[in-house]
A = this chain, B = another copy of it.
């Protein structure tokens, strides 16, 4: 008996591609379609896409319920994502849906909601080369990645990055201009696994790079968790015999005070 496929939803803001010819040339069907395309090469993944301007941003409750791993890329329109949709996605992460937050998704409502911090950073659009160093050669996310890999030109992100201490720091980036950045990191929230991956500015062909695709593909498999349980706040009976209560609840005891 074979396992069911992992259901992946790749969410793209899909605005830069419509406004900037350079971006459109790099990602003709949108960045989400480029990402979905390389994920679809994995037969164990069942991949769909969703975008901001669809009804419910393409993320209806039904869609989220049937998503095992959500990949998120957004930038110029973070503010247009409805809070209600953010809360549904947040709850699904708590239940066990994985989240891969890409590049400028560091400032998405969903990622900030899960981190509990500002998620601020330094940045510069320029001609920096980025070299990502692999800190965890034995981690599922870095399989097939060597000691490091390079991206010929990328937007720079620099420290301090306003995140909670990661559970696992996977990559640190070196930039030509003199900065460093925690460019791959994991966190748990509820039953869900989260991976933030820095590369992917819209004006560069970053998501066409084989090793970038490899990391994202690995991360999708890593982020898939076995269960879906949303915790609640139940009133429960005791499992062991409790002492009798001589009205202790209603009057403070001398000896207690």
Enumerate A128-157 residues with CB–CB distance to B below 8 Å: 128-129, 131, 133-140, 143, 147, 152-153, 156
Least distance between A128 CB and chain B CB atoms (Å):
6
Whether A140 contacts B256 in the complex (CB less than 8 A), given A172-B180, A176-B243, A242-B128, comes out as no
Q: Which residues of B have CB within 8 Å of A177?
A: 237-240, 242
Known contacts: A167-B167, A177-B242. The answer to whether A159 contacts B172 by CB under 8 A is yes
A121 at the interface (CB under 8 A from B): yes
Bin chain A's interface residue count. 35 or more
Q: Does A38 contact B (CB under 8 A)?
A: no
Whole-angstrom CA separation of A208 from B257 in the bound complex: 6
Scan A35-59; emit 1 where CB is below 8 A from any B CB, else 0. 0000000000000000000000000
Q: Is the CB of A249 within 8 A of B127?
A: yes
Say how far A125's CB is from chain B's closest CB, in angstroms: 7
Residues of chain B within 8 A (CB-CB) of A172 are 159, 172, 180, 182
- Which residues 76-104 of A sit at the B interface, judged by CB distance below 8 A? 94, 96
Taking beta carbons and an 8 Å cutoff, which residues of A are in contact with B?
22, 25-26, 94, 96, 107, 113-118, 120-129, 131, 133-140, 143, 147, 152-153, 156, 158-162, 164-165, 167-169, 172-180, 182, 187-192, 203-205, 208-209, 225-240, 242-245, 248-253, 255-257
